[in-house]
Chains A and B, each alone.
Chain A
Amino acid sequence: MRLLLTEDEPYLASSLKKYLGNDGFIVDSTSTIRESQKALMSEMYDIVLLDLNLPDGDGLSLLEEIRTEYPRTAVIIITARGEVEDRVKGLNLGSDDYISKPFSMLELSARINAVVRRKFGLKNNSVELDGLSVHLDEMLVKADSDPLPVTKIEYNILRYLALNRGKTVSRISLAEHIWGNEVDDRFSLDFINSHIKNIRKKLKDAGKDQLIKTIYGVGYRIDKI
């Protein structure tokens, strides 16, 4: 999942980037409204973490823009301005959540997970598929309540396919959501194939080899139950 972090405090930005990266997000970080606009224009993000106090203006204007231009992107506001009025204003403008500085990383994780749940229509922190559950708050996949040993990339692939269950995910979107867009796609697509092969092998061992469908020439799909 791709996340855009707009935060002008470099230390906070780098630690958030590291933490969220470990959580399986591909994080791009920007420090101004202008940079964020550029990033949003050329990339697709699932979530934007938005600081309101930015050197070139109020983050609320960017929030409005995201709501009208990129309706599929969720926004979580981060700010030191904890006043109720601001919160209400942000939420009214369509932010999905609001977190005030200082906050713990765990709280941020929980809020991001809640937003992800809402965005993908989930009741709890795991996606339940035909006997397979993919947890969102930790790197855990269970097949009939037995943990399935998956690597980080395999987990990321499974999580993305599971969150988008019922939809066909093209290999290129999958690659971009896992590695960002810097990697040459001719190169990364081959890797998607081999990782899917490995995932299938593991699923087959757990008796779930029919879970991931290949749409030839397009990508993969996990059907909705």
Chain B
Amino acid sequence: MKLQYKIGLSNLIVSLLFLLITGFVLIHVVRKTVYQDLDQHLYYHKNSLINQLKQSQPDEDNDFDYGVVGSQEWVNLTKWKGKADSIPPNRIKTVYLKNGNKTIEYRELSTVVSSKGQFYRAQFLESVVQWQHIIRNVFLVTFGLLLTLILLLLIVNDVQFREILKPFYNTVKRLPHIRDATGFAERFDRSSTEEIDQLHQALNRMLKQLGSFFEEQKSFIQNASHELQTPLTIIYQKTESLMSDPDISEESLVELAQIQETAGRLSRLTKALLLISKIENKQFPMNDEVCLSDMAEKIISELSDFIEAMGIDVRLNFRDYPTVKASRELINALFYNLIQNALKFSTDNGIISVTGRWGADGGYKVQVQDTGKGISPELLPVVFDRFKKPDSKWNDSPGLGLSIVKSICDLHDFGLDMESELNKGTTVTVTIPTSSIISP
């Protein structure tokens, strides 16, 4: 839930609670005031009864009522047979009396009055009905006013928050775009809101640090590449120049050739490892527009010497020729490694099919399929791991081709899947998500 909505919702809940409490208190206070008023009125009636009794005595035998149930107010007078020292105090309470099928609320004052030595119990009743209308009206008007006020406040609040949170939302909106090295140069402006300013400063510090880490790592990889490649090239070149000496013995030649092969292998290994760390550090700009089928065709022509020599039938079949947003260099490396790998697995006169089609569950699937040796099931889960090779024949070659494929796919968010059956062939499937496809 958005922060803005969260604040709005909590404001709404608090306001409604406040409104409810106010309503209850209001009803209570108004009621109490009305009752106090009524009670005072009842006492006034009592006093006027006492005065009346002084002048004329009620009928000796009969009780009498001034008024009936349903009247606004009435008095009920009965003789009281108690002693003077046990006269009960005045009692006021609310009673509900039935008039037909209507229940009417009354305030009742019961008291004992005396007239010429005779005690009477007097019950004064006064209806609350009229007042209830007033209470309801007061309540409704007040409640309505409050509700309108609260809603207005909420709207004003919302607009205000929107304005206050604007820089915050702008920052939040920018954050997802900082995903790779190009984003590390982003900086956030100072803000007049203290917290947002602190957030921006912290983000700027982190971005700066990330940027410098990235640069350090990049230059480390470059330096490592130089520092490792230079001595290897020297070894390679020196052995080659020793080998071209016509007087050298055959035993020495064999040893020199082994040195040269080892240096070559080491050089390829470091190159592959540095390539993987470069990929993992996201040092490749990923905004090229690459046509997959063109790339596959290019790689096939680059490897045509081997394809022809092995008599391999390469079948290229792409549906719709899509263009993807990716690093051209890495897509090149991806196809190169996949197709070279298929060739390595192939036996003479085999078939390699490179196909591209739309997946049933979205995305575009590029499949490289060979009819070669295949990989045993227990090795299948580890083929993408560094230094694991599916066949002991390649024991001493760096088995990094598939690791490179994996890191390229991971970087681009491509799916990667491999199926294989011994002596039947291997199928590698790369799934390109729809979001990476520019056209069609």
Contact = CB atoms under 8 A, between A and B. Distances in A.
A184 B264 contact: no
A101 interface: no
A194 interface: yes
B305 A153 contact: yes
Nearest to B240: A173
B161 to A, nearest CB: 52
Contact of A215 (B229, B233, B253): B253
A170 B260 contact: yes
Interface string A164-193: 101111111100100101111111100100
Interface stretch (B81-89, B355-363, B394-402): B394-402
Nearest to B226: A41
Interface in A41-72: 41-44, 72
Contact of A185 (B233, B237, B248, B268): B268
Contacts of B256: 170, 218
A206 to B, nearest CB: 22
B148 to A, nearest CB: 71
Interface stretch (B107-115, B323-331, B336-344, B373-381): B336-344
Interface in B232-275: 232-233, 236-237, 240-241, 243-244, 246, 248, 250, 253-254, 256-258, 260-261, 264-265, 267-268, 271
B230 interface: yes
A168 B306 contact: no
Interface residues of A, number: 34
A41 B397 CA distance: 22
Contacts of A188: 306
A195 interface: yes
Contacts of A169: 243
A168 B239 CA distance: 11
A170 B401 CA distance: 25
A219 interface: yes
A54 B2 CA distance: 54
Given A173-B240, A195-B309, A218-B254, A42 B397 contact: no
A168 B226 contact: no
B268 A218 contact: no
A43 B264 contact: no
Given A44-B240, A186-B394, A186-B397, A170 B267 contact: no
B265 A185 contact: yes
Interface string A185-225: 11110010011000000000000000000011111000000
A176 B267 CA distance: 13
A191 B254 contact: no
B56 to A, nearest CB: 127
Nearest to B228: A42
B257 A187 contact: no
Nearest to A173: B240
Nearest to B393: A186
Contacts of B303: 183
B243 A168 contact: yes
Contacts of B229: 41-42
Interface in B259-303: 260-261, 264-265, 267-268, 271, 303
A170 B264 CA distance: 12
B243 A42 contact: no
Contacts of A167: 243-244, 246
A38 interface: yes
Contact of B397 (A172, A179, A184): A184
Contacts of B236: 44
A184 B344 contact: yes
B306 A187 contact: yes
Contacts of A173: 240, 260
A114 B340 CA distance: 36
Nearest to A42: B229
Contact of A191 (B265, B267, B306): B306
Contacts of A194: 309
Given A185-B261, A185-B265, A44 B309 contact: no
Contacts of B401: 184
A170 B233 contact: no
Contacts of A183: 303, 306, 340
Interface in A100-156: 153
B233 A42 contact: yes
A34 to B, nearest CB: 10
Q: Shortest 10 CB-CB distances between A and B: which pairs?
A: A186-B397, A167-B244, A218-B257, A42-B229, A217-B254, A170-B257, A218-B253, A41-B230, A168-B243, A172-B264
Given A167-B243, A187-B397, A194-B309, 13 more contacts: A38-B226, A41-B226, A42-B230, A44-B240, A72-B237, A169-B243, A170-B243, A172-B257, A181-B268, A187-B340, A187-B343, A191-B305, A218-B250
25 contacts: A38-B226, A41-B229, A42-B229, A44-B233, A44-B236, A72-B241, A164-B244, A168-B243, A168-B253, A172-B257, A172-B264, A173-B240, A181-B268, A182-B336, A183-B306, A184-B340, A184-B397, A185-B397, A186-B397, A187-B343, A194-B309, A215-B253, A215-B254, A218-B257, A219-B257
Interface of A: 38, 41-44, 72, 153, 164, 166-173, 176, 179, 181-188, 191, 194-195, 215-219
